Amino acid sequence: MKQPILEADVVIIGGGVTGAAIARELSRYQLGTVLVEKRGELCAGQTKGSLGNIYTGLNLVGSMILKSVLLPPGTPLTELYHPHTLHTKWCEEGFREWEPVLNELDIKHRYVPLTIIAKDEDQIKNLEKIRDLGRQLGGMYADFEQIDREEIFAREPNVNPEVVTALYASRHVIDIFPPEVAIALAENAVQNGCKILLNTEVIGILQNGHHQIVQTVKGPIKTNFIVNAACGWGDKVCDMAGGGRDWGLQYRKTVMIILDTRCKGLVNGMVRWPNVPGRLDLVQRREDNILIECGTYDPTDRPDDTYTIREDVIKSMAVAKTLIPRISEKDIINTFTGVRVFNTRDVEDHIVEFHPSNKKFLNVMIRLPGIIGALPMAGHVVGMLQNAGCKLVKKDDFHSYRKTIPRFRDLSDEVRNRLIRNDPRYGHVVCRCETVTEGQIIEAIKRGASTEEGVRMRTRAGMGRCKGGFCGPRVVKILARELKIPVTEVKKRSLDSPLLLCRSKELLLRNEKGIA
């Protein structure tokens, strides 16, 4: 029997923070919204490999200087500030908009102090550039203090003993875990009626009278409007809707290192050397561990060039130790590589515009920092769809609140006991490093996790020192049981990433029979 075709008013292509924020915004209206993501879990692209801070002021000034590597050499400092770009506008508005939404969506977050330190003449000059640009821009950009050695060590006792001066801002950086943000936005969109399809790669777009057909590996979707939020792959998706694109994409990669939880006390917030064009050197206390990003923006030709090279880790650690000398290689528990995406038409801004030959296909190509600006961006996109004829009627019953999966590790004994009384599976710890229980894993699966990575990003199971050595096989078993599939069908992250090929006894049998 022929399957009925799926219909929507708007199809969003790409389940990173951009797609998820637009999905949530659209779910305020009486619309059929479908978000399609090619991988087996949301935020499989840049959002997963992100440093992930919501920041403003002093940190944003530092970023302006860092990104001047993309501009012609010798560009004057004040030309690094572009108040009229969507990028700057959304960074400024986004920081203010996030705080209430982080609370509504029960997203774990924490303000971390930022200390930009300098020890030698060159660094002091670079620090002065940041200070001067901040003061020239005024307002929130000037909301920092310059502190001396005594103050520096009172606030960050473990920094390089040779530092002489620093810039300090206490509330310019909000530490979040980027996948949690994207997943929370998406979960809230689903609560409000949005449909999310994972493992659903878009492979073509057809015009059919007044409608468009989004062709996916799982079948077609008939829709009025399409939003292209495929970021690093957005050029290819754009071309599916027709030719005439006058922009391309460029990619720059950076390695990141995560240190064990036991190092948490080494820094109180984000500590960095002053930015120089094209270089970012920082050590940051995250909620659960320490993150190091020390390196350059290395060009690459692919958005998925996320392989981590040993030499890059060694170089990065060497610089990190100049910031915090007590850091040690022994404490590395993970490394990953993030790929930043820029468009070639205007590296300083996003591209948010309708396709030149398809006025119902909206390109939303976001350059970094796309998490900070995601909320105003989503409001803007919805406005553009409305102006293009998308009928928007507000729902009376939109729920802006979403509850997180209980974070067992953070709960008091009283709350833990209550949880266990209601569901004894909360009393079974599956991931020992991060204290994640079977109850949390089952809840993650109920909310859409269907891969090992999906469970990891939603619960932190497997993110600790043993990297899933202990809990990995147990998580696979729980996934197989809950999804009612054989363990050999459980995937790491998407359909093309099997974890187990067959039972080991089958392998012996095959060997005996000479089957490859």
Ligand X SMILES: Cc1cc2nc3c(=O)[nH]c(=O)nc-3n(C[C@H](O)[C@H](O)[C@H](O)COP(=O)(O)OP(=O)(O)OC[C@H]3O[C@@H](n4cnc5c(N)ncnc54)[C@H](O)[C@@H]3O)c2cc1C
**Binding of ligand X by 49 (CB under 6 A):** yes
**Binding of ligand X by 286 (CB under 6 A):** no
Beta strands in 126-285 (DSSP E): 145-148, 165-175, 195-197, 202-208, 211-216, 219-228, 249-259, 270-272, 279-285
The SS3 assignment for 71 reads: coil
C-beta of 64 vs 163, nearer to ligand X: 64
**Binding of ligand X by 369 (CB under 6 A):** yes
**Binding of ligand X by 201 (CB under 6 A):** yes
Q: Considering only 121-129, 141-149, 232-240, 326-334, which stretch makes contact with ligand X by CB under 6 A?
A: 232-240
**Binding of ligand X by 230 (CB under 6 A):** yes
Backbone angles phi, psi at 228, to 5 degrees: -95, 100
**Binding of ligand X by 37 (CB under 6 A):** yes
Kindly give, in sequence order, each residue whose CB lies less than 8 Å from that of residue 171, ignoring residues fewer than 6 positions away: 111, 113
Q: How many residues bind ligand X (CB under 6 A)?
A: 39
Which residues 165-194 are close enough to bind ligand X by CB under 6 A?
none
Asked if 366 and 18 touch (Cβ cutoff 8 Å), the reply is yes
Residue with tokens 């978000």: 35
Sequential DSSP letters for 269-307:
SEEEPPPBTTEEEEEEE-SSSEEEEEEE-EEES-TT--P
**Binding of ligand X by 376 (CB under 6 A):** no
The only residue of 9, 10, 12, 18 in contact with ligand X, by rule CB under 6 A: 18
**Binding of ligand X by 295 (CB under 6 A):** no
Rounded Cα–Cα distance for residues 107 and 135 (Å): 33
Asked if 53 and 175 touch (Cβ cutoff 8 Å), the reply is yes
Q: Considering only 9-17, 70-78, 153-161, 396-404, which stretch makes contact with ligand X by CB under 6 A?
A: 9-17
C-beta of 49 vs 274, nearer to ligand X: 49
Kindly give, in sequence order, each residue whose CB lies less than 8 Å from that of residue 96, ignoring residues fewer than 6 positions away: none
Rounded Cα–Cα distance for residues 357 and 454 (Å): 37
The only residue of 229, 294, 323, 444 in contact with ligand X, by rule CB under 6 A: 229
**Binding of ligand X by 50 (CB under 6 A):** yes
The only residue of 166, 368, 445, 478 in contact with ligand X, by rule CB under 6 A: 368
b/e string for 2-36 if b means 16 or more Cβ within 10 A?
eeeebebbbbbbbbbbbbbbbbbbbbbbebbbbbb
Q: Considering only 115-123, 140-148, 230-238, 311-319, which stretch makes contact with ligand X by CB under 6 A?
A: 230-238
The only residue of 6, 14, 23, 283 in contact with ligand X, by rule CB under 6 A: 14
The only residue of 192, 223, 224, 254 in contact with ligand X, by rule CB under 6 A: 254
Rounded Cα–Cα distance for residues 98 and 453 (Å): 26
Which residues 323-362 are close enough to bind ligand X by CB under 6 A?
338-340
C-beta of 51 vs 241, nearer to ligand X: 51
Which residues of the shown chain bind ligand X in the complex (CB under 6 A)? 13-19, 36-39, 43-47, 49-53, 201-202, 229-233, 237, 254, 338-340, 366, 368-372
